[in-house]
Amino acid sequence: MNLQNHKNIIQEKGFTVINTIFSDYEIRRIIEVIQNIDISKETFRKSEDLFAIRQFLKEIPGVQDLIFTENMKKVIREIFGNKYFVVKSIYFDKPETSNWYVAYHQDLTISVNQKMQLEGFGPWTTKQNQFAVQPPLDILKNIYTIRIHLDDTDENNGALKIVPGSHAKGIYRPETIDWNIETEEICNVESGGIMIMKPLLLHGSNRTTNGNRRRVIHIEFSDRQLPDKLNWSEKTVF
């Protein structure tokens, strides 16, 4: 596992895929914990097309030790650096019959503890008592996202499609994508594998067509302190 090579690929393309980070046994244990939760909480979103848990690590504390294995810590340490911590975590379950389609977009907001007037921060949104805001670009550029795949994922069950290199182009409106210049790549990931990406990477996903579900744990990391009295709402040191 040449992590320096993966770090270089992320800088160039905005993402990389590393398979076999988790064993089959480790994935089964994570799934067991998720299956035994109370899904009635307001941070859980459930529909025919999607089941999602916001603030995943806070809502299901028993899963943290299963996720931050020595393998995962090594990846984070060697690719991100020693000072990174969790700033957001979400669990997605795209069921077998899902028609859930996600158009191309960038992840432009962070989750914070309160709403306040700060230069360079805005617009603001609130979902389920969770404040989100678009921060200055340098904060977004500093974030890494790890997507842990609990199922084999390809173009037939909603694997991410991305525009390589788009993370380096600042705020990039999807409607301005010039497909004469840009290319699209499908990010197939095996169960037990991870995809690491930069939030500014343009990404989306298609509907499921093969009857296979897609379960993903999405975790964002930063090493930045926010200004004034603004704090990351989900800051977790592992």
Residue 213 · residue 152 · CB < 8 Å: no
Residue 63 · residue 35 · CB < 8 Å: no
Q: What is the pLDDT of residue 63?
A: 95
Q: What is the pLDDT of residue 196?
A: 98
pLDDT at 100 over 80: no
CATH for 3-222 is: 2.60.120.620
Q: What is the pLDDT of residue 47?
A: 56
State mean pLDDT over 180-204: 98
> 3-state class of 44 per DSSP?
strand
Q: What is the pLDDT of residue 219?
A: 98
Q: Which residue has the higher pLDDT, 143 or 206?
A: 143
The structure tokens listed for 217 are 């744990």
Q: What is the pLDDT of residue 210?
A: 86
pLDDT in tens, 201-223: 999 998 888 878 889 999 999 99
pLDDT in tens, 153-167: 999 988 999 999 999
Q: Where are the domains of the chain?
A: 3-222
pLDDT at 41 over 90: no
Residue 162 · residue 105 · CB < 8 Å: no
The one-letter code for the residue type at 163 is V
pLDDT in tens, 52-62: 888 999 989 88
- 32 to each of 73, 172, 212, how far by Cα in Å? 22, 39, 18
69 Cβ contact list (under 8 Å, min separation 6): 21, 22, 26
CA distance 219 to 69: 14
pLDDT at 99 over 90: no
Residue 69 · residue 30 · CB < 8 Å: no
pLDDT at 49 over 60: no
- 188 to each of 47, 53, 137, how far by Cα in Å? 25, 23, 29
Q: What is the pLDDT of residue 98?
A: 61
pLDDT band of 13, cuts 50, 70, 90: very high
pTM (2 d.p.): 0.94
